[in-house]
Amino acid sequence: MHSQYFGKEVYWYGLIILSGIILAHVLAYRKIKKMSDVDRLSSKISWDLITDLVIFMIPLGIVGARLYYCIFNWDYYGTHLGEIIKIWNGGLAIYGGIIGGAITAFIFCKVKKVQFLDIADFCIPYVAMCQSIGRWGNFVNCEAYGSKTESFFKMSVPGEIGYYHPTFLYESVCTFLIFLILSKVYKNKKFVGQVFYLYLVLYGIARFFIEGLRTDSLYIEGTNIRVSQALSAVLFFVGLILYIYKRANIKAKIIKLMRKTN
């Protein structure tokens, strides 16, 4: 959906996503200012570092979101290659954006010689917050809604008969709650990677069930398996295994240290 102002087209989806990025950047700046010198030095997190990372992550995240969507719609894009670059016609997948952003962050951290998991722990709550805000772009575009329902939470869709699950709203609420949880955990985190792994678990659960309600899912070719549900399940189990392993490893080290002191 777009409007015209002074002869220029304004795409509301893009503005909503941009507002989420700006808010996340402001909150990240405030968090960095509140960090102790010890925390900043140990993690090597600085305002300049995060700003540089965001500059790379935004365009490459968009590329990832577009490629993900096109790959799983290859029946069309394989014969219309020129359409791949036309992102203004729609067709971005959040999981592709997350994957693209994560790969960018990993390479960035290698180049800058900082620990990826430190940066991921710091940034991932704001990723969840951006997702929460960005989902309202689906609302203005009248997309990403679910199957028909007569439940209390229902929405009408222009041109459609009946009411539908507002799956964009479900995910917006879930990711905002994830943002709040991760922000709290970050303040008292026990090990490096804890916040990042927890995001994989929480978002994996939320997206798995919400995706099951959607009517516009991408499917693995030749199957009835929804791509996002399959990926959500993978992220959930990977995140859970890593979280449990790291937590158990920390506990084992504490017990060993206590035995030595005794």
Domain boundaries, the chain: 2-261
Taking residues 201-221, report their average pLDDT.
93
Taking residues 157-177, report their average pLDDT.
91
**Does the pLDDT value for residue 203 go beyond 90?**
yes
Report pLDDT for 154.
85
**Does the pLDDT value for residue 2 go beyond 70?**
no
Report pLDDT for 257.
67
Residue-wise pLDDT for 180-199, tens only, equals 999 999 998 999 999 999 99
Task: Say which residue the tokens 């951290």 belong to.
Answer: 109
pLDDT-derived band at 236, boundaries 50, 70, 90: very high
Report pLDDT for 5.
47
Q: Which of 78-82, 126-130, 218-222 has maximum average pLDDT? A: 126-130
Residue-wise pLDDT for 22-56, tens only, equals 999 899 989 998 887 767 766 788 889 999 999 99
pLDDT-derived band at 9, boundaries 50, 70, 90: low
**Does the pLDDT value for residue 262 go beyond 70?**
no
Percent of the chain with pLDDT over 90: 52
